[in-house]
Amino acid sequence: MDGVTVIDHPLVQHKLTIMRKKQTSTASFRQLLREISTLLCYEVTRNLEITTERIETPLTEMDAPVLEGKKLVFASILRAGNGLLEGMLDLVPAARVAHVGLYRDERTLEPVEYYFKAPDHMADRLVIVVDPMLATANSAILAVERLKQQGASNLRFLCLLAAPEGLERFRHAHPDVQVFTASIDSHLNEKGYIVPGLGDAGDRMYGTK
Ligand code: URA
């Protein structure tokens, strides 16, 4: 699908299979999410711009590659986004972090913002929005809208699983935002869960119901 990158690295796919299993414990799920998010982060940052810096090694001077521009932003959609965040920060510890808190209004089923905090200079930074599950895409669409209102114009969206319905809605709302995912699953069920999926990512990572 246009604008969508499926990260089919064998390690990602193997870890994802263990995460999907219903008997996988909370502790294992959390550990695997941390490991997989590091691998996903590696792929989503693969084509970052590089410049050079004059450095001295113990032997000589050289022009050595370094990341160009301002520090990245990882924008976590609460609460499940935080599960991806930790592994990504292991890989890019200097990244800045934005948090977008949304809950679903039980009457309208629409997402409502309850928290928003983002670093400054959003217009000058690459923003990688993270949420493990791109299901209906309601939250993802709103989160990206809010980040754009804050000045962000260079964004990517990273998830673990995506439903075709959510992908289509998200791509329609934000055609400029490339989506990275480990899998495009079959469909959404009537309750908005991804099938075959892995259940509720937040519940599985935090041991709630
Ligand atoms: N959110 C989840 O955690 N799981 C789904 O299947 C859909 C949305």
Helix (H) or strand (E) holding 6: strand 4-6
Mean pLDDT score of the chain: 95
DSSP state of 71: P
Instruction: State the catalytic residue, choosing from 30, 34, 104, 146.
Output: 104
Annotated binding-site positions for uracil: 194, 199-201
Residue 76 has pLDDT above 80, yes or no: yes
Q: Ligand 1 in contact with 116 (CB < 6 A)?
A: no
Instruction: Give the pLDDT confidence score for residue 117 in this predicted structure.
Output: 97
Give the model confidence (pLDDT) of 98-136 as tens digits: 999 998 777 776 889 999 999 999 999 999 999 999 999
158-165 average pLDDT score: 98
Q: For the chain, what is the radius of gyration of the CA atoms?
A: 18
Give the model confidence (pLDDT) of 181-206 as tens digits: 999 999 999 999 999 999 999 999 99
10-36 average pLDDT score: 97
Annotated binding-site positions for 5-phospho-alpha-D-ribose 1-diphosphate: 79, 104, 131-139, 200
Q: Determine the distance separating the centroid of ligand 1 and the alpha carbon of 196, expressed in angstroms.
A: 11
Per the CB < 8 A criterion, the answer to whether 14 and 36 are in contact is no
Instruction: Give the pLDDT confidence score for residue 86 in this predicted structure.
Output: 93
Per the CB < 8 A criterion, the answer to whether 98 and 155 are in contact is no
Q: What percent of the chain has pLDDT over 70?
A: 100
How far apart, in Å, are the Cα atoms of 63 and each of 9, 45, 55, 59, 69? 32, 22, 6, 13, 17
Annotated binding-site positions: 79, 104, 131-139, 194, 199-201
Interface confidence, given as ipTM, is 0.95
Going along the chain from its start, the domains and CATH numbers come out as 4-206 (3.40.50.2020)
Question: Would residue 203 show up in a list of annotated catalytic residues for this protein?
Answer: yes
Per the CB < 8 A criterion, the answer to whether 70 and 124 are in contact is yes
Q: Determine the distance separating the centroid of ligand 1 and the alpha carbon of 148, expressed in angstroms.
A: 24
Residue 88 has pLDDT above 90, yes or no: yes
77-106 average pLDDT score: 93
Atom 2 of ligand 1: nearest residue by CA position = 200
Atom 3 of ligand 1: nearest residue by CA position = 200
Question: Would residue 107 show up in a list of annotated catalytic residues for this protein?
Answer: no
Atom 5 of ligand 1: nearest residue by CA position = 193
Could you give the 3-state DSSP secondary structure of residue 86?
A: helix
